[in-house]
C-alpha cells in the first residue's frame, strides 16, 4: 500500500558556499566553492517522501520568477503533484544561503519570500487534496496561520498530521492540539517544552510536556546519536543512528521526516521499523553534497540495508 503524503511547506533556491571554517564576527573569508540547488525544508521533505516511494503532493507558493519556475520543475522531476503551488505576483521566491565548513557542519540564512505569503484561504481552496492524504506534513518556514488551517482540515478528514517545528519558534498552542506527531530535534524540543534534552529521562519529560500541550506522539532526532520516540499506543524507545562519515548535514532532518512518512502507518503501529528506514535514508543524505541532490531513493536505502 503506497502512502499518500501531502506537504505544506517552503520552496527555496539554496546557494551553498563552501568554506574552511565559520567566519568570526567582522571577519572576511574567501569561499572555496559556490553552488545552487533546489531546497527549502518543505521541498526537501516532499522529495524525500517521493523518492522513498510515497505518492506526494505539495502545497506552497513561489514568486513569478525564474527561481519559482525552477522550484516547481524540480518537484515535478520527482513525480510530485505541484497543482496546489500558487504563484505570488508581488514577492519573489524564497532563498537560502548555506555556509558549509570542512567538517560538514552548516549555518543557514533563509529569506522567506513568497513562502511567507501563504494565506489560510489558499489552504482551504485545496481541502480536497488534503483530504486524500494519509499524512499532512508541515514546518515553520511558512505562516502558522496556514498550518493551523491545514491541520484543522486534515483532522476533519481523518488525516494524520506531522509537525516539524523547525526553525524553532514560538508556536500557536492551537496547532499542537491538531498535531498527531511532532518531530523536533533536541534543540527545538527544548525550546518548545522548556526542558533541556540530555538523556532518556529528559526526553521522557519532554514527551509528558508535549502531551500536556496536546500532542500525543513525539519523535526527537538527536543528530548522529539517533532518534527517540514516544507514542500513545506503541510505547517509547531509542533507535540509534547509522555510523557514517558526514560530508554535508544539510537536509538530513528533512530526509528523515520525508522517508519516515513514506513508510509509517497512519496509526503509527510500525514506528520503530519506519524509524530504522528513516535513519538509514538520513545517513545516506549526509554522505553527499547539497540538499536535494543527496536525498536517496527507496532502492538506495534498501541497498544500503543489505551491505
- One-character DSSP codes across 102-158: TTS-EEEEEE-GGGGG--HHHHHTTHHHHHT-SEEEE-SSS-HHHHHHHHHHHHHTT
The answer to whether the annotation marks 222 as part of a ligand binding site is: yes
Residues marked active site are found at 254
- The pLDDT assigned to 295 comes to 94
The answer to whether the annotation marks 134 as part of a ligand binding site is: no
Structural domains of the chain, ranges and CATH numbers in brackets: 4-10+39-93+115-306 (3.40.1190.20)
The answer to whether the annotation marks 60 as part of a ligand binding site is: no
- The pLDDT assigned to 86 comes to 97
- Is residue 88 within 8 A of residue 116, CB to CB? The reply is no
- The pLDDT assigned to 266 comes to 96
DSSP per position, 214-236: T--EEEEEETTTEEEEE-SSS-E
Distances (CA, A) of 103 to 99, 245, 284: 11, 10, 16
- The pLDDT assigned to 105 comes to 85
The answer to whether the annotation marks 221 as part of a ligand binding site is: yes
- The pLDDT assigned to 89 comes to 95
The answer to whether the annotation marks 288 as part of a ligand binding site is: yes
**Residue 12: burial class (beta carbons within 10 Å; 0-12, 13-18, 19+):** buried
Task: Report pTM.
Answer: 0.93
- The pLDDT assigned to 289 comes to 78
- The pLDDT assigned to 249 comes to 80
- Strand stretches in the chain, DSSP E: 4-8, 12-18, 33-39, 55-63, 81-88, 94-100, 106-111, 135-138, 160-163, 181-182, 217-222, 226-230, 236-240
Specify whether the backbone of 102 is left (phi greater than 0), alpha (psi in -120 to 50) or beta.
alpha
d(CA 3, CA 274): 12
What is the per-residue burial (b if ≥16 Cβ within 10 Å, else e) of 130-151? Answer: beebbbbbbbbbbbeebbbbbb
d(CA 67, CA 199): 42
- The pLDDT assigned to 138 comes to 98
The answer to whether the annotation marks 237 as part of a ligand binding site is: no
Helix (H) or strand (E) segment spanning residue 259: helix 252-263
The answer to whether the annotation marks 224 as part of a ligand binding site is: yes
Give the residue ranges of the chain where pLDDT is below 50: none
Amino acid at each position: 500500500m503506497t502512502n499518500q503524503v501531502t506537504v505544506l511547506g517552503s520552496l527555496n533556491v539554496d546557494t551553498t558556499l563552501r568554506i574552511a571554517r565559520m567566519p568570526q564576527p567582522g571577519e572576511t573569508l574567501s569561499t572555496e566553492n559556490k553552488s545552487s540547488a533546489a531546497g527549502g525544508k518543505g521541498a526537501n521533505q516532499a522529495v524525500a517522501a517521493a523518492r522513498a516511494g510515497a505518492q506526494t503532493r505539495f502545497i506552497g507558493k513561489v514568486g513569478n520568477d525564474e527561481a519559482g519556475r525552477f522550484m516547481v520543475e524540480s518537484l515535478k522531476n520527482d513525480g510530485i503533484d505541484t497543482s496546489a503551488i500558487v504563484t505570488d505576483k508581488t514577492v519573489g521566491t524564497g532563498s537560502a544561503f548555506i555556509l558549509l565548513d570542512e567538517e560538514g557542519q552548516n549555518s543557514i540564512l533563509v529569506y522567506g519570500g513568497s513562502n511567507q505569503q501563504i494565506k489560510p484561504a489558499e489552504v482551504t481552496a485545496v481541502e480536497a487534496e488534503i483530504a486524500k492524504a494519509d499524512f499532512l506534513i508541515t514546518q515553520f518556514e511558512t505562516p502558522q496561520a496556514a498550518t493551523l488551517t491545514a491541520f484543522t482540515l486534515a483532522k476533519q478528514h481523518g488525516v494524520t498530521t506531522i509537525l516539524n517545528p523547525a526553525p524553532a519558534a514560538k508556536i500557536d498552542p492551537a496547532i499542537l492540539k491538531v498535531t498527531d506527531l511532532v518531530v523536533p530535534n533536541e534543540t527545538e524540543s527544548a525550546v518548545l517544552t522548556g526542558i533541556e534534552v540530555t538523556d532518556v529521562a529528559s526526553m521522557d519529560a519532554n514527551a509528558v510536556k508535549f502531551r500536556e500541550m496536546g500532542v500525543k506522539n513525539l519523535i526527537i532526532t538527536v543528530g548522529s546519536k539517533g532518534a527517540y520516540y514516544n507514542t500513545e499506543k506503541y510505547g517509547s524507545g531509542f533507535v540509534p543512528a547509522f555510523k557514517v562519515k558526514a560530508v554535508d548535514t544539510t537536509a538530513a532532518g528533512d530526509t528523515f521526516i520525508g522517508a519516515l512518512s513514506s513508510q509509517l502507518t497512519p496509526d503509527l503501529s510500525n514506528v520503530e521499523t519506519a524509524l530504522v528506514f528513516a535513519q538509514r535514508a538520513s545517513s545516506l543524505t549526509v554522505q553527499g553534497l547539497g540538499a536535494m541532490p543527496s536525498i536517496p531513493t527507496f532502492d538506495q536505502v534498501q541497498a544500503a540495508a543489505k551491505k
